[in-house]
Amino acid sequence: EAEWKLPSFGKQLFLGSFRLDLIHPQPRLDPDAIERGERFLADLRAVLAAEADPLEIEREARIPDRVVDALKRIGALGMKVPPEYGGLGLSQVYYSKALAIAGVWHSSICTLLSAHQSIGVAEPLRMFGSEEQRRKWLPLVARDHVSAFLLTEPGVGSDPARMASTATPAQPALGATPVDDDLVAMPVEGGYRISGRKLWATNGTVADIVVVMAKVPKSDGHRGGISAFVLPYDTEGVAIEHRNAFMGIRGIENSVTRLENVFVPQENLIAREGDGLRIALSTLNTGRLALMAISVVASKWATKIAREWAGERVQWGRPIGKHDAVAQKLAFIAGSAFGLEAMLDVAARLADNKRNDIRIEAALCKLYGAELSWQVVDALMQVRGGRGYETAESLKARGEKPVGVEQCMRDMRVNRIFEGSSEIMHLLIAREAVDTHLQAAGGLLMGNGGAKAKADAAVKAGLFYTKWLPQLALGKGQDPRSYDEFGPLATDLRYVERSSRKLARSTFYGMARWQAKLEYKQTFLARIVDIGAELFAISATVCYADTIRREQPERRQEATELAQLFCAMARRRADTLFGELWANDDDSRYEAAQRMLEGRYTWLEEGIVDPSGEGPMIPSPD
């Protein structure tokens, strides 16, 4: 999105302004929303316990129809759909809780529900659809029509803007043909003809309705651009070519779908032509919080299993949790689980409150949650040892509790790839983080235009930085009495305030040093983003602990202890990242990678037998 219409805690944090007032005090949940949410969570727990056998799903690699039917009966497909359209209208907080419950039972159930509601038909129509579209489609997806989101293509992954076709048919009324596997939507009388091929469509093998992204060629009367369409999946010309299988999430219904000259009526266009990417990226805010819910529940489950196992397993006469090497991992697991839950709680309440722009916070949750929860599950695997590596089915067969740590590890790995890989998330967040700088000094950095244009750009940049830079010199974080209302956690907020200004200065130094080449310094930008993520995590953790103090006073001391544990770890990571901004071996490693690509080290590959088989890494266009 080009504009910031609402305040953003994340944006201000990267600019060196610690706006604690934007996230604290956290908005209280509406009592009706709590009652409605708790009632649904009880129904969901009952359905999962009665109908869903996690070992069966893992063994058969499918969610049984009885499970999906039971979920439909309790309204699980309509969790996010407003009540006036037949849904439950759950808050983001309770939607996240529901996904967590489903995810801890089996990841495939959570994936089915989140893909359907976070990025499927419901969210794009709720946010961008016309009233007529909402009344037509939302009751269906709230009750029993499973939906999917068709964006990725064989030649288009993290760069959806490349979806544009390079060919335009001479006769638009005859439709279009896919070129380089791009998806083309040709305007015809009364609608569009869509042709192309979509990859990795979650729910794509069982969907009834989908949102499909396609490129409309620009022409007279047509704005053109990547556009979003609602498409009934039984429309003539839609074919499921393949059900994809993956390392984890074994019950996922994920397809390769081909569309050949598929007719879509004009009224199925969501918003305007050319709005497709805006719709996709906006709905991903919800999708990214859904992934954060999965990261949170995996970490909370890891805490439970680690505690039980480390207290029961005895080695050298003591429970393994009494040994320092294991105790360090237990503390890391528990502290991380608390910090991740805090981030999700803060972000979800902000989403429900609708007073803040949460695009940066949602993206940070997705990135940080995926990375940290992977480390948590890896630590759990180490604590469980051989039993962690053994399947739950095997453990059960020999009489032990079927604890699926290896399954959790397989399932969690994809979170660092889904809905924006960690590398892409770093770049997206970095772009948002430096947006103000680009507006103020973009013309100067890029060096576009003649002498007058450069002079004007210099004046504009000078006016901005003359005012902005002095604000980074002093702040509340240098006052030892500031934030005292947070008790022992005040020191962590003072650290965030000081570090926020330091982060902003570091970003400015990077811009001054590399100027237009900054965009190529991806590792530097990634560290900037990671520091911001740690600062957001610390802020959220302190706020969450304070919320627990107010709403659950009996847990006040325990929450403070966990918050202190997490903040200490996060501060250490942030300090390390600050040092690595300027003391690193990034350039030499990049140069080594280029030599590797040139074939300089192919002798290193000698002595192996590659079992991969024949076939191209990337298939040629059909």
Active-site annotation, residues: 419
Structure tokens at 263: 């007719």
Alpha helices in 434-555 (DSSP H): 435-446, 451-468, 490-514, 522-551
Structure tokens at 505: 């200065």
Q: How far apart are CA 278 and CA 228, in angstroms?
A: 10
Pick the closest to residue 41 from 96, 120, 115 (CA basis). 96
> What are the residues whose beta carbons fall under 8 Å from the beta carbon of 69, sequence distance 6 or more?
none
Place of tokens 């809905």: 419
Q: CB of 345 within 8 A of CB of 540?
A: yes
Q: How far apart are CA 33 and CA 351, in angstroms?
A: 14
At 215, the amino acid letter reads: K
Torsion of CA 468, 473, 477, 480, to 10 degrees: -150
Alpha helices in 52-187 (DSSP H): 54-60, 65-73, 92-105, 107-114, 122-128, 131-143
Q: CB of 57 within 8 A of CB of 253?
A: no
Element (H, E) at 586: helix 586-597
The C-alpha angle 64, 68, 73, rounded to 5 degrees, equals: 140
Angle, helix 92-105 to helix 107-114, in steps of 10 degrees: 150
Q: How far apart are CA 314 and CA 281, in angstroms?
A: 50
Percent of residues in the chain assigned helix, strand, coil, to nearest 5:
60, 10, 25
Pick the closest to residue 414 from 250, 199, 617 (CA basis). 250
* Distance between start and end Cα atoms, the chain: 34
Element (H, E) at 202: strand 191-202
* DSSP calls for 131-170: HHHHHHHHHHHHHT--EEEE--BTTBSS-GGGG--S---S
The C-alpha angle 509, 512, 516, rounded to 5 degrees, equals: 125
Tell me which DSSP letter residue 470 carries: G
**3-state class (DSSP) for residue 210:** strand
Q: How far apart are CA 506 and CA 437, in angstroms?
A: 13
Q: How far apart are CA 183 and CA 192, in angstroms?
A: 12
